Chains A and B, each alone.
Chain A
């Protein structure tokens, strides 16, 4: 084989090799770009959501109502007792004879990770109530506190506490704010 053919063959091979490796590298970068764009779209969406949320929460800070909070102690058990007592007196003030069970404070899963909110599960068993109005007043009063009702049953047994009207609810606590 003469020199020229060897040169042609060698450089042809080199050119093909560079082309092959180059295209492979380009494809890999393009795939990375595609992946990055997908991630970017998700981040954009997340930013949009967070931005909207921030705006609405800022607006709420200015215009929204202030939630009342139940006094707490540093000791968890003392806090638990304080909360039970508070709920019993709160219900008693509304003319409702009730039994209250307070469970341990735990991290709430009802909110995104970005916000640290704890929750205290509560069970209320009201032995008797005179009218729907009394119940409605109680539920309305709940709205002034960071309470969220999970189960509401009249005559049912879904909530493990004795009573004619049983309510399972959560009390939300923002650790930094409390």
Chain B
């Protein structure tokens, strides 16, 4: 449900409009003093809040302006900038305003001008209006002016044309008059009506309305308001007849029933509220947003953006962590699998211990017969080996031989030792051969050779 609220000077007019398959339907129609608004928002709205989707508000005519400016035709952004300057120059800098392009009009000479309608509301008035909803769970999403809402309704009813049209909503204690010419809102006025007891035939009110029409004629001498449209709960036939006779204007019937259902049952018919319900906020040029709401929205946007970025970073980190953790887990599982297989193999190896020993013996033992044969071969005649040793040291077979070379003289003995050494060196079974001791004892030579087995 769209809750449309139209603020007049001392009253709030409310219409609840639902969008149905058959169109718009007025489901609630109220009016009460502004002072009761808080109670309505806190108590009554609470019972309705489940149904209320949005709130649209039109402010009082006070503190608003509707004015058409003629700007030299330029690029759109320049026109907007010129219009802004013009509005500030004419009305001051206190307004929040919007604009609407009413098209080109011929200017002096060959120049072309652009007609721009601007409407605005005082910033502090907008703030005050917004503050009224501080206690409400649902806050308005659209603030605009009464004539703009009304214009939408009349546009919907098809009564706005090129001829000026005076719309008069006769109501107690405030009667509102708006004069339209096409899309242009020419005059807006609020007239305080006296109590019906003091002015039973509403002649004083009719005079005030007539004066407004005269004012229009003075402001726009070439134009006359030839059509009048009356609405409002305090409208009496006498007033209408009186004005018809005085102005000679045509009375245009007000029939919002063509656009809205449920009006027959409605206690009050609020044209401003009906206009608000017809507005399309996305394509409406005059949606005013209070500065505090703008700030809130900006803060909310910043909050959403920064928290999204933060959440994004957090998510990325979490994804990366979970991915790497998964990799680690997979590796761990794979590793455990391999370790299990190793354990199984090792268990199996326990059963093969004898084979292991057998293999180890084959690979670790030197070819003894070959060694002894080779030893016999490397010792020439005249040399006697005293000792022959072979032992394993850190997996390698190291050995030494000691002996005596006995030639016919010292030289021959030394030569014999050299021959023994050479024979050891040349043997494929020995490596790292070194003659470590050589001692002459008379004609014979005692020697010691160390070697390593070449396996």
Report whether B348 and A11 are in contact in the complex, using a CB–CB cutoff of 8 Å.
Answer: no
**0 or 1 for each of A128-169: is its CB under 8 Å from B? (1 = yes):** 000010011001100100111111111110100000000010
B contact residues, total (Cβ < 8 Å): 59
Instruction: Give chain B's interface secondary structure class.
Output: helix
Residues of B within 8 A of A150 (CB): 391-392
Instruction: Give chain A's interface secondary structure class.
Output: helix
Within 8 A of B (CB), among A58-78: 58, 60-61, 64-65, 67
Report whether B368 and A139 are in contact in the complex, using a CB–CB cutoff of 8 Å.
Answer: yes
Cross-interface CB contact of A117 among B313, B357, B386, cutoff 8 Å: B357
**0 or 1 for each of B31-45: is its CB under 8 Å from A? (1 = yes):** 000000000000000
Cross-interface CB contact of B365 among A64, A148, A177, cutoff 8 Å: A148
- CA of A66 to CA of B325, assembled, Å: 52
Residues of B within 8 A of A8 (CB): 302, 306
Report whether B356 and A51 are in contact in the complex, using a CB–CB cutoff of 8 Å.
Answer: no
Within 8 A of A (CB), among B111-136: none
- CA of A43 to CA of B338, assembled, Å: 7
Report whether B361 and A148 are in contact in the complex, using a CB–CB cutoff of 8 Å.
Answer: yes
- How many A-B contacts are there with CB distance less than 8 Å? 187
Report whether A22 and B317 are in contact in the complex, using a CB–CB cutoff of 8 Å.
Answer: yes
User: Closest CB-CB distance, A8 to chain B, in whole Å?
Assistant: 6
Name which residue of chain A comes closest to B368, CB basis: A139
A-B contact pairs, 11 of them (CB 8 A): A11-B303, A19-B313, A64-B358, A115-B349, A115-B350, A117-B357, A143-B361, A148-B361, A149-B368, A158-B389, A176-B353
Nearest first, the 8 A-B pairs at minimum CB distance are A22-B317, A11-B306, A155-B387, A153-B389, A139-B368, A151-B391, A57-B352, A114-B346
Given contacts A64-B358, A64-B359, 20 further A-B contacts (CB under 8 A): A3-B299, A8-B302, A8-B306, A22-B317, A32-B328, A36-B328, A43-B338, A115-B356, A136-B368, A136-B372, A140-B368, A140-B369, A146-B357, A149-B365, A149-B368, A152-B390, A154-B385, A154-B388, A158-B391, A174-B353
